[in-house]
């Protein structure tokens, strides 16, 4: 329960909401707060006016078969010789447009230009505060405090707090490893650098296998050892004071950035998150309404936008968790709502390919169809199609009911049990390649330093380690590296002008602040829109070595610039040469992931369908981002994901039928054997095995239909129909699975 007068602080009707809304810089994307709003009134979750009930028609032998009668079903509160189920369906199921929530007012502070300027001012003030304290404490390299401020700073407060928290954890781990390496291997430079390369490779491997800020923490633990450890290893007599000073400077930057972002024009993430979740919910309802339409395939853009919204929600939710106790209290309800929206989308995607014009007609009673249909191949095929359509309609209706219930729970400030899907799919091959590539970059840069004995070689190693840590796992790392090289060349003039033109005129801290303002404020505005804006700040802090007493050494500045360029060059070359990331490799790895996860889903030790759906969407969203410039490869990945969703829906139907306990023993054992046989065909891709499993599913479907014609028990009939639908969906999905196999086998 979110406690604040009985409601979550972020609930739109809570006493605190208006105050927070007026005080925060809520983004313009927030277009709705109130879930379940319709013409200014709340709709009930159960039995809402205008909702489509699920009616269980009865056949002459009094056995109810709980399948909906389609859009022509009676309205809420009526009976049609059937049993009314206590559930309602969104108006989108009846083909009506989704409910619209009132738009939030657009405020001047939500303008992107204003947001960028405010962020630049806040980052500049935090950087000056960090520099002033570092000067006052007499720290030997205050530049690291200034750089940390700009690295951690974000326009939204929650992002700063989350990033700062994991940066502290990563820095602590990096300092501890630096102590071990410096005091254990500093007497042997080659061993020290080899251990450094290995450590950075391991950290980048872990970072590539994780998500969000947990990944960022591992990145920090990796390149912090390069930043701190190398300078300490070069001065072993002063190693411990140096390590302590670097740690103090980094923590100082984090604290200053966090204080300023919370005290000066704070921008809370929770309003933005609520708006994103509402957009995700509306998108799910639109997809549910569009399932029966003939233009489903023309809605590819809308379906991809749903993936984009989901990725934005997950990233924002992970950061908002650090923002306030109220945000943490609402996390469970938000996860439930996101999970329900994903489930609606998953059911819509899985059933759209099978939904035909029959759903638009008034479907007769299923039991009468079973009895009247001729026992011929053509008659059985038509009957099976009708049953599958009815099961699909029921699944979609139940998914929308769950979505509306989750929205109402959040609307009322009720914290439901957080049983939404968890976990994600990591790609061990891609993570391993990232780790190996990172270790090679550091090793090659270190070898160059040792062979040439270049005094600035240490900077080249540090830059190479930082480059492969921050950009090695991003999409198109080669293009990003080239962009950074271009940024370095462009930034040379303003950085040089600041260091050798403006700073020499400064006589005190105030005049120094004025000299730094043009460069740092301009970079702050760029960072708010483009992360590459951080690089000129890093170039300035490393090249200027800003301190209480400045030392203007032009040759040192030029050597540092060349060292930075060399470090970037090492990373760029190895990114381009050593297993470069190509659209084909990305697509092949995604299809391979689908097959492996489907195999595990069919096995005895299987994840829940909610876990499977959430992880699939997370991986698909990440893959689509990497393929944003390759539409053909992106479409192939989406097609494979739809096949996987269809298989998972079939597995869920079969397991649900078994869970009823009403199936004959022979049927239960047959389903178990079917799923067990399907697992190896996915785990070890084989067309022969998958096709054989499809034929087994067909035989089991025919057996279920024969049993359904003869049984008299209502519950047993319902379980058999669910098993029949599951077998048919599995059969048709397995026949599409060779599309995935072709991609995977081509990669071998």
* pLDDT band at 353; cut points 50, 70, 90: low
* pLDDT band at 741; cut points 50, 70, 90: low
Average pLDDT over residues 497-522: 92
Count the helix, strand and coil residues of the chain and give each as a percent rounded to the nearest 5. Answer: 70, 0, 25
pLDDT of residue 132: 94
pLDDT of residue 522: 94
Average pLDDT over residues 491-507: 91
The percentage of residues in the chain with a pLDDT greater than 70, rounded to a whole number, is: 77
User: Which helix H or strand E contains 523, and what residues bound it?
Assistant: helix 509-529
Assess whether pLDDT exceeds 80 at residue 485: yes
Average pLDDT over residues 599-611: 78
Measured between alpha carbons, how far is 158 from 324 in angstroms, rounded to an integer? 9
77 against 318, higher pLDDT: 318
* pLDDT band at 711; cut points 50, 70, 90: confident
Assess whether pLDDT exceeds 90 at residue 36: no
Average pLDDT over residues 395-403: 90
Measured between alpha carbons, how far is 574 from 334 in angstroms, rounded to an integer? 42
For residues 365 and 387, is the Cβ–Cβ distance under 8 A? no
Cα atoms in the 13 Å half-sphere on the side-chain side of 348: 28
Measured between alpha carbons, how far is 32 from 30 in angstroms, rounded to an integer? 6
Assess whether pLDDT exceeds 80 at residue 32: no
Summary mean pLDDT of the chain? 77
* pLDDT band at 108; cut points 50, 70, 90: low
Measured between alpha carbons, how far is 736 from 744 in angstroms, rounded to an integer? 14
Measured between alpha carbons, how far is 142 from 39 in angstroms, rounded to an integer? 58
Assess whether pLDDT exceeds 70 at residue 25: no
Lowest mean pLDDT across 71-75, 353-357, 492-496, 690-694? 71-75
725 against 56, higher pLDDT: 725
User: Which helix H or strand E contains 474, and what residues bound it?
Assistant: none
Cα atoms in the 13 Å half-sphere on the side-chain side of 182: 25
Is residue 95 helix, strand or coil? Answer: coil
pLDDT of residue 170: 87
pLDDT of residue 605: 65
* pLDDT band at 73; cut points 50, 70, 90: very low
Assess whether pLDDT exceeds 70 at residue 93: no
């Amino acid at each position: 329960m979110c406690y604040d007068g009985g409601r979550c602080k972020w609930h739109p009707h809570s006493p605190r909401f208006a105050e927070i809304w007026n005080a925060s810089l809520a983004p313009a994307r927030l277009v709705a707060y109130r879930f379940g709003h319709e013409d200014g009134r709340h709709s009930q979750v159960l039995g809402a006016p205008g909702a489509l009930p699920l009616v269980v028609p009865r056949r002459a032998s009094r056995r109810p078969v709980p399948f909906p009668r389609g859009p022509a079903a009676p309205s809420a509160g009526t009976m049609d010789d059937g049993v009314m189920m206590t559930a309602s369906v969104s108006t989108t199921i009846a083909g009506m447009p989704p409910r619209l929530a009132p738009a939030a007012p657009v405020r001047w502070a939500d303008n992107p230009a204003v947001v960028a300027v405010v962020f630049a001012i806040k980052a500049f003030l935090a950087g000056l505060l960090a520099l002033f304290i570092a000067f006052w404490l007499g720290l030997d390299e205050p530049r690291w405090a200034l750089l940390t401020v700009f690295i951690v700073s974000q326009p939204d407060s929650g992002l700063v707090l989350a990033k700062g928290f994991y940066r502290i954890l990563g820095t602590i781990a990096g300092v501890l490893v630096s102590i071990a390496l410096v005091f254990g291997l500093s007497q042997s430079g080659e061993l020290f650098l080899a251990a450094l390369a290995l450590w950075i490779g391991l950290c980048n491997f872990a970072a590539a296998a994780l998500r969000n800020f947990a990944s960022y923490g591992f990145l920090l633990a990796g390149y912090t050892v390069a930043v701190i450890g190398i300078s300490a290893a070069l001065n072993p007599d002063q190693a411990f004071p140096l390590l302590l000073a670097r740690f103090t400077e980094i923590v100082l930057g984090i604290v200053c950035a966090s204080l300023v972002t919370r005290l000066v024009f704070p921008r809370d993430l929770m309003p933005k998150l609520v708006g994103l979740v509402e957009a995700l919910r509306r998108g799910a309802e639109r997809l549910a309404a569009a399932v029966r339409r003939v233009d489903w395939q023309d809605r590819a853009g809308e379906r991809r936008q749903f993936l984009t919204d989901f990725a934005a929600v997950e990233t924002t939710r992970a950061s908002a968790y650090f923002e306030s106790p109220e945000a943490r209290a609402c996390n469970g309800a938000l996860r439930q709502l996101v999970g329900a929206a994903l489930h609606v989308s998953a059911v819509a995607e899985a059933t759209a390919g099978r939904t035909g014009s029959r759903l638009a007609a008034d479907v007769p009673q299923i039991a009468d169809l079973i009895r009247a249909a001729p026992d011929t191949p053509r008659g059985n095929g038509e009957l099976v199609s009708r049953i599958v359509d009815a099961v699909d309609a029921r699944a979609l209706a139940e998914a929308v009911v769950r979505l509306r219930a989750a929205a109402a729970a959040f609307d009322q400030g009720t914290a439901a049990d957080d049983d939404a899907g968890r976990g994600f799919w990591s790609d061990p091959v891609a993570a391993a390649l990232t780790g190996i590539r990172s270790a090679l970059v550091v090793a090659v840069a270190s070898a160059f330093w040792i062979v040439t004995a270049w005094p600035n070689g240490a900077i080249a190693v540090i830059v190479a380690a930082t480059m492969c840590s921050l950009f090695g796992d991003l999409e198109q790392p080669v293009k990003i590296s080239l962009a950074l090289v271009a940024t370095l060349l462009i930034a040379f003039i303003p950085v040089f002008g600041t260091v050798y033109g403006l700073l020499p005129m400064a006589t005190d801290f105030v005049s120094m602040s004025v000299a730094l303002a043009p460069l740092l404020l301009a970079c702050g505005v760029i960072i708010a829109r483009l992360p590459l804006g951080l690089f000129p700040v890093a170039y300035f802090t490393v090249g200027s070595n800003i301190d209480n007493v400045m030392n203007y050494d032009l040759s040192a500045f030029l050597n540092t610039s060349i060292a930075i360029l060399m470090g970037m060059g090492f990373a760029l070359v190895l990114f381009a040469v050593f297993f470069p990331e190509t659209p084909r490799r990305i697509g092949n790895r995604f299809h391979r992931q689908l097959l492996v996860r489907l195999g595990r889903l069919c096995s005895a030790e299987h994840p829940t369908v909610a876990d499977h759906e959430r992880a699939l969407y997370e991986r698909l969203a990440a893959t689509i981002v990497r393929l944003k410039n390759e539409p053909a490869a992106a479409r192939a990945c989406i097609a494979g994901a739809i096949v996987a969703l269809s298989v998972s829906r079939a597995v869920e139907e079969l397991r649900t039928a078994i869970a009823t306990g009403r199936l004959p023993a022979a049927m239960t054992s047959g389903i178990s054997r079917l799923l067990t046989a399907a697992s190896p065909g996915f785990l070890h891709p084989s067309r022969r095995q998958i096709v054989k499993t499809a034929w087994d599913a067909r035989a089991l479907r025919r057996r279920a239909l024969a049993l359904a014609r003869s049984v008299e028990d209502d519950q047993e009939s319902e379980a058999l129909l669910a098993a029949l639908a599951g077998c048919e969906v599995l059969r048709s999905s397995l026949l599409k699975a060779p599309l995935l196999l072709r991609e995977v086998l081509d990669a071998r």
